[in-house]
Amino acid sequence: MSDSALTFDNVVKKFGGRTALDEFNLEVPKGVVFGLVGSNGAGKTTSMAVATSLLRANSGSVNVLGLGQYDPLLHSGRVSLMPQDSNFPRYARVRDLLMYYATLQGQSAKHAQDNIAQVIDLVHLSDRVDSQIRTLSHGMRRRVVIAQAFLGNPELVLLDEPMSGLDPKEVMNIRRLLHKRQEGQTIVVSSHNLFELERVCTHVAFIEDGKLVKQDTMSTITGQHHVLNYLIEAGANASLPGLRELMPDTSFTIPGDGSVLTCSYAEAGHTTAEVNSIVLNHLLGRGVRILEVRRGAELETAYMQQT
Amino acid sequence: MLKLLHSALKVARYELQDSVRSRRFAVVLCLYLIGAMLACNGMISMLHHFEQHIARSVGLSASAAPGDVLRALWDSESFRDTIAKMTRNKEAFEEIKQLPLIAIFFGWLAFTFTPVFVILTSPSRIAEELATGSARFALVRTSRAAWCLGKFFGQCLEVAIALLLSAIGTWVVARFRVPHMTSAITMAPMIILGWKVWLCSIGFVGMSLGLSQLTRSPNLAIVFAFLTWSAMKIISMAAWFTDEEGLTRIWHVLDLMTPMGHIADLWRSQITFVLPAVCYVVALGLSYLAVGYAFFARKNV
């Protein structure tokens, strides 16, 4: 039994002369929230469409839930997709549409009714469930698109830019939804909003020009277990030689305007608490004013460094 | 296979529901229905006017209701011979002649205009979903084959609704305008003809949805379907006006590859003519659909 929910193996996808995925490799472990980060046209949307066989790859293979290439009759109900720029039929009613999708993925009418009530409640649209799609605002339509992706609690959910077009309250709601996902459920999220991805994802991959640049856990990528950043008053004398003497196996740097002291340590050597205790004592002893202590770098910084 | 059919039926049910709700269907159906009723009314008025003219010409008293003189004319041997020569098939004419006039008129109207109805409503169904991207929501849940087949079934059912309504509309108009019309005797052949027209329309639905799979533009799909229907009409006319000899035989062969080439047999009442024609038009519809699917199956959605 495979431990991967989704695997891309040397996948190539071309649109005419343009290569959207260039020998693309990716492995999404089961039961994680996986973020896909990349610039416009990097291949995030294409990879999701290839994963669900909406786009045919030119070469390479995709393995979905260990069952091989995506086959709707085999994977239906176990995998779902929230496409980025797809619209529902304008005259359809929300309930009818969700009932259609639920029954199409194998749910009985009775079960589908209960399930629709649940997913519609998740996106706070219970009062609009009998409305026609054309009467909903853009944000509401996006919420229906999110709701359909969670019908039947699929094992693998692919969300392409789920936060786009949502108001702040709904963004928070979606974040909460992703946090309290079903046990064992794998969620792949592509987004440009790195701040949101950092908050919801346990794993992340950087994609550029159709290739995988880096893939790891969020904590490793952002250095949450081996980097501490101290925001200090600019111009304060932190005495780096003194710190290096105290912790010779640790790297200390103060880049830029001198307002951030970055401490990189080996995870095996010290715990975060130990390092923090030594550094704070040293800084406070020297009268350095500390404004903030932050674990790891921001995802945005990590992304900019890697790409 | 069973799973595919099961999925196709679910798609068909929703397709019918969604299609009937669309503005395009409502407009075209209204036009079709009103057109059928007005045409029936016009035909009866024209007939009555024609009969009165004949009656005056031969010095008889004008008939009170439409159809009296024409029924007498219909029964005259010389008139039948003339019409049989026009239809080039006396045997076929003798069978058709047994039908009530209103039923014949309804059959002619339905065989002529149902393809137009199909061309105005069906070709956009797949193209539109590809254009808006709504197809993606269904295509991650069911196979492309089941989806296309479901759309096909749904559209066939939609045509059945239109035919049923137009049959009822035509019958109601005739019932009011022709007082001595025997309701049951007229209704039964109308139902049988409606059923045959529906079977014939399967060929056009297949053609429309086959073309719909080739493009993301609903309007372009309708244009494709209209051009194909026009080409079929030209082939049909070429076959009508040429003999089955030498090179002109090609028109007759091509005509058999269109639903129009089987309409004459569908008019017949003998099963030996009707059954092969039905098999042909259904097979043609599925073949057109399959040709479009061969392209769609490899297409990026």
**A157: nearest CA in chain B?**
B140
Which member of B3, B22, B301 has the closest CB to residue A54?
A: B301
**A144: nearest CA in chain B?**
B137
Which member of A88, A104, A148 has the closest CB to residue B10?
A: A104
Residue bearing the bigger pLDDT, A258 or B145: B145
Q: Which of A54, A70, A101 to mutate to test the interface with B (most CBs of B within 10 A)?
A: A54
Q: How far is A257 from chain B (nearest CA, A)?
A: 49
Which member of B14, B143, B300 has the closest CB to residue A55?
A: B300
- Structural domain harbouring B22: 2-296
Residues B224-248: what's their mean pLDDT? Answer: 91
Within 8 A of A72 by CB-CB distance, chain B residues are 139-143
| Tokens describing residue B145 | 């084959």
Where does chain B show beta strands of DSSP type E?
Answer: none
User: What predicted TM-score, i.e. pTM, was given to this entire model?
Assistant: 0.85
> What are the pLDDT digits (tens) for A124-153?
999 999 999 999 999 999 999 999 999 999
Q: Which of A76, A94, A100 to mutate to test the interface with B (most CBs of B within 10 A)?
A: A100
Q: How far is B208 from chain A (nearest CA, A)?
A: 20
Residues B5-28: what's their mean pLDDT? Answer: 90
**A100: nearest CA in chain B?**
B14
Which member of B22, B129, B141 has the closest CB to residue A76?
A: B141
Task: Output the DSSP codes for B26-77.
Answer: HHHHHHHHHHHHHHHHHHHHHHHHHHHHHHHHTTPPPPSSTTHHHHHHHH-H
**Domain spanning A223-306: CATH 2.40.110.10:** no
Sign of CA dihedral A186, A190, A195, A196: negative
Instruction: Say if the Cβ atoms of B138 and A100 lie within 8 Å.
Output: yes
Residues A189-194: what's their mean pLDDT? Answer: 88
Residues B208-237: what's their mean pLDDT? Answer: 96
Instruction: Say if the Cβ atoms of A87 and B301 lie within 8 Å.
Output: no
Q: How many domains does chain B have?
A: 1
Question: Is A118:A56 a contact under the CB 8 Å cutoff?
Answer: no
Q: Is residue B301 part of a domain?
A: no
pLDDT value for B67: 63
The percent of residues in chain A predicted with pLDDT above 90, rounded, is 55
Q: How many helices (H) and strands (E) does chain B have?
A: 14, 0
- Taking the domain A4-221, which CATH number applies? 3.40.50.300
Instruction: Say if the Cβ atoms of B140 and A76 lie within 8 Å.
Output: yes
Per-residue confidence band for B63, with pLDDT thresholds at 50, 70 and 90: low
For chain A, domain boundaries: 4-221, 223-306
> What are the pLDDT digits (tens) for A196-210?
888 889 999 999 999
Map residue A26 onto helix, strand or coil: strand
| Dihedral (Cα; A111, A117, A122, A125), 10-degree rounding | 150
Per-residue confidence band for A13, with pLDDT thresholds at 50, 70 and 90: very high
Q: How far is B1 from chain A (nearest CA, A)?
A: 11
Residues B177-200: what's their mean pLDDT? Answer: 85
pLDDT at B60 > cutoff 80: no
> What are the pLDDT digits (tens) for A66-120?
999 999 988 989 999 999 888 999 889 999 999 999 999 999 999 999 999 999 9
Question: Is A259:A282 a contact under the CB 8 Å cutoff?
Answer: no
> What are the pLDDT digits (tens) for B69-110?
666 666 667 766 766 666 667 777 778 878 888 888 889 989
pLDDT value for B61: 63
Q: How far is B128 from chain A (nearest CA, A)?
A: 9
